[in-house]
Structure 1
Amino acid sequence: MSNNPIRRVRAKGDAFSIGFALGKASASGFRERAVKHCSTTRDWNVGVGSERFRVLNERWRGSDYLKTLESAARAAYPRYMREIEGMAAGLEQDFQTVFIWNCMTDLMLPEDVSPAVRDAAGLGCTSIQMPAEGDGPAIIAHNEDGPAEFLGACLWVEVEPDEGPAWSSFMTPGSLPGETFGLNDAGLVQTINHIVPNDQQPGVPRQIICRAILDARGVDEAVEILQRKDRASGYHHNLGEATMRRLVSVEAPASGCVVREVVSPRAHANHLLCREFAVLKQTIIPDSRDRQEAADRMIAEGGLSGGAEAVLFDETSHIYKSQHPDSRTLATSVFALFPDRVEWRVHTAPDERDVLSGTMRVV
């Protein structure tokens, strides 16, 4: 039996019903592995993800700044806020707890927080993009890294909403889908890499933005969302559009958005690479820099001849994380984009391949 099972969950209906179903499905993982608590809200379990939440919960719960984020999200995307409300009900948590959990990187950490907590978010996720050759597919592949305690607690969710395209996404406990990797039946694929620029501002939380992109009908529509000026923080987005076998790489911190068409194989870890952001202060931890340099080197040396997994399963540079004390590779996804479909597969380990797979036909 796998040490890292990923349960497949289906949901349909209105926004609240979808959120409730996903919250209920991830409730035990959220309680036991994400923000496990005992008798009081201050008695959270040790672990950098939970410790980060504890610190932010104490600092920002009930604050005017948090209310500003909520107001911005409700004004821009009320339907996704209903999903969070439904998720909170399914998780059996109050709304503010779940909203803070989904806003952790939109909220500033106190100056005296430990380096381990401050750097933890930058420890994970590496993506590969490979343009189509001849009649072959374009490829987006991704390592989703996260807290080690999330192993075995994540979901693959397949959703048919009353409005918008059908979509599927990897989901970590308590988090709105979209901020990991996923696709929709318009043929749009998205994978996400965390970045750590110092430019948070009041606005729409970035996980709401990621969820909005799951409803986009193509890359251009997704880029329009990422060009909003009212984003609270941002990610790096790998986007693909099956109908055109088009790939783009988008670095989108709160203060800007740079789009690069992908014309040759490339990798991205957890820091901004575009020269347009050279003057933007950001945190680049050694783990991210090492993974980026190693992936770039392997690509230059022809390492992708054996497929994206040849790079993503490399452990010598911690691109694939199996032993790190705070961060593990929770899943590796590979999306092959054809004009009429996306063929996808998910590995839970180098020796546990294709534990989930399927084909999403373009509608």
Structure 2
Amino acid sequence: MTSDHFPLSWLEAHGSHHDIGLALGRWGAHACQRHLVHSPAWAQVMAHRHDPAVPALRALLHQHFPWIEQELAGLAEGLGLPLEDVFLWNCRGDLWALAPDGCTTVLAPLRLSHNEDGDPGFAGACGLARVRPIDAPAFVSFLYPGSLPGHTFAVNGAGLAITVNNVRARKARATGLPRMALTRALLATQSPSQAIALLQAHPRMGAFHLGLGQSGDGGTFSVEFSQSAVSVQPIRQARRLHANHALHEAQRNLPQVITASSSRRQSRGEALLDQQADPLDILRDTEDSAEPILRRSPTDTDQENTLATADIDLSGEQVRWAVYSPGSRQPDYRFDGLHQPD
């Protein structure tokens, strides 16, 4: 395991959705040109250019969320890459079950704690953005170069907190909206109930697990969505842990890939919950040296590393949360709502 410290950069983006996408693209252009477009993952996703599902994905996005289409256009312009390629990259988990997106979340009734696991080639190139659209709530989100915000962890101006875990669903024949477009759309909602209703009202292609909660709302929710179902489990008393495979009974027939890392992080995390461990201690755990919860190995079996940890407290009238470098006990950022306290 490495103890390297990779600070997250900070970005402010505002204006129209095209303007926001443009700012995100310019911010991530160097990392994408240096690493992403040369990566095996990029090549694997670009091999789907002629997949018959792609035109349907684009048509549904245009029909339901043209403003996200505008963000993608701005993103592609800022990155200096073809829109068709950037759109495909933002559909990676819908088209390819083994896309390099991971994560682990501990869910408690008034707290969401989350390891953001992704491509280790982006270590030192990720960031946090405060985004202020002209027609929707502002939000702060973790960012990957080349990707829409919303599929990682975020808090919006309505006090809505979202954490997102990859679920490696195998592609079915039916089509729906790209899962990263749906989670981007959730950042424009005002409450967990609105977010859940949005998922239920739209066709879905890929699968994700979400932790949802809101300051002052009195609870959090474990949500799994796939083509076939949107499953919602309130977190009332007992804490839960979620790695990277669907667990809800409603998803029992979901064709999915369960990797050794996901299975063993799930088992180890549940054991630590039984021991009443603190969520941040769980997310720092490396007891299973082959498949640790805190993932920093260059030989990680899923080619993923922990790039940041978020700890989101929903017990007050305003969200209080912190973002840590992997394994650190001191936060790099603290927030009251969307603002850093003095």
Give the TM-score of the pair, scaled to structure 1.
0.86
- 5+ residue gaps in structure 2? none
Residue 190 (str. 1) matches residue 169 (str. 2): no
Alignment match, 1:274 = 248
Corresponding residue for residue 53 of structure 2: 65
- 2:207/2:226 contact within 8 Å kept: yes
Contact 1:245 1:339 in 2 (8 A): no
2:42 is aligned with 1:56: no
Match of 1:176 in 2: 148
Aligned to 1:248: 221
Whole-Å separation in 2 of the counterparts to 1:268 and 1:314: 15
Change (3 A) 1:273 1:64: closer
- Match 1:31 to one of 9, 30, 33: 33
Residue number among 208, 211, 220 corresponding to 2:181 in the alignment: 208
Alpha-carbon offset, residue 7 of structure 1: 0.4
Q: 1 CA distance for matches of 2:325 and 2:271? A: 25
**Equivalent residue letter for 1:207:** M
Once the two structures are TM-superposed, the CA of residue 120 in structure 1 deviates from its matched residue by 5.9
Q: What is the distance in 2 between the residues matched to 1:286 and 1:314? A: 16
Conserved in 2, the CA contact under 8 Å of 1:119 and 1:285?
A: no
Deviations 1:171-208 (A, max 9, x none): 11100000000010101000001112235432210000
Report the counterpart of residue 298 of structure 1 in structure 2. 272
Note if 1:121 corresponds to 2:100: yes
2: distance between equivalents of 1:213 and 1:229?
12
In the alignment, the residues of structure 2 paired with residue 168 and residue 86 of structure 1 have an alpha-carbon distance, to the nearest angstrom, of 19
User: What code does the residue aligned with 2:33 have?
Assistant: R
Q: Is 167-176 or 224-233 further displaced after alignment?
A: 224-233
Which AA in structure 2 matches 1:355? Answer: D
In structure 1, runs of 5+ residues without a counterpart are 36-44, 109-117, 132-137
Q: Which residue of 1 aligns with 2:319?
A: 342
Find out whether 1:286 has 2:260 as its counterpart.
yes
1:132-184 per-residue CA deviation (whole Å, 9 max, x = no partner) reads xxxxxx11010000111110010100011100101110011100000000010
Matched position secondary structure for 2:31: helix
**Kept in 1: contact 2:117–2:307 (CA 8 A):** yes
Give the conservation status (yes or no) of the 8 Å contact 2:192–2:212: yes
The residue number in structure 2 matching 1:167 is 139
Confirm or deny: 8 A CA contact 1:128 1:268 kept in the other structure.
yes
- Asked whether 1:328 is paired with 2:317, we answer no
Cα deviation for residue 277 of structure 1 reads: 2.1
Q: SS of the residue aligned with 1:56?
A: helix
Once the two structures are TM-superposed, the CA of residue 324 in structure 1 deviates from its matched residue by: 4.2
Query: Deviation at 1:356?
Result: 1.4
Q: Match for 2:332: what amino acid?
A: V
Equivalent position of 1:261 in the other structure = 234
Equivalent residue, structure 1, for 2:64: 76
Residue in 2 that maps onto 1:97: 85
Q: In 1, distance between residues paired with 2:298 and 2:209? A: 23
Deviation at 1:52, TM superposition (A): 2.7
Equivalent residue letter for 2:198: I
Asked whether 1:130 is paired with 2:108, we answer yes
Q: Which runs of 4+ in 1 moved over 6 A?
A: none
Aligned partners of 1:199 and 1:254 also within 8 Å: no
d(CA) in 1 for partners of 2:203 and 2:287? 40
Aligned residues: 329
Question: In the TM superposition, what whole-angstrom CA distance separates every residue of 1:232-254 from its partner, at most 9, and x where no partner exists?
Answer: 11200110111313200001111
Whether contact under 8 Å (2:155, 2:338) holds in the other structure is: no
Partners of 1:209 and 1:186 lie apart in 2 by: 18
Q: Aligned-pair RMSD on alpha carbons?
A: 1.8
TM-score by length of 2: 0.92
1:13 pairs with one of 9, 12, 15: 15
1:155 to 2:127 alignment: yes
- Structure 2: distance between partners of 1:181 and 1:56: 23
Structure 1 stretch 98-107 or stretch 61-70: which is displaced more? Answer: 61-70
User: 2:256 & 2:307 partners in 1: Cα distance?
Assistant: 25
**TM-aligned CA deviation for residue 226 of structure 1:** 1.7
Letter in 2 for 1:177: P
